[in-house]
Amino acid sequence: MLLFFLVLLVIGLMAGYISINCSDEIGSLLGLLSAISLLTSLVFAPWPIQLLLLVHLIIKH
């Protein structure tokens, strides 16, 4: 499960980096892929990582 989480995270980060540097239509498609990939990686993240993100959000607000 951890490997699946890391693969999705790396794909999302790479797609986000490419979408920032590209100004074509493929850039917007990669931005969408990046958002979807990062959201699914948060869903499949192990519970300690989700807990750390939740604590960070609570403290920040």
What does the pLDDT look like over 13-33, one tens digit per residue? 888 888 888 888 888 888 888
Counted domains in the chain? 1
* Residue 1 pLDDT exceeds 70: no
Percent of the chain with pLDDT over 90: 5
Give the pLDDT mean for 32-45. 83
Give the pLDDT mean for 43-50. 85
Q: Contact 43/35 with Cβ under 8 angstroms?
A: no
- The pLDDT score that the predictor gives to residue 55 is 92
The whole model's pTM is what? 0.63
List the domain range (segments joined by +) for residue 35: 2-60
Q: Contact 44/5 with Cβ under 8 angstroms?
A: yes
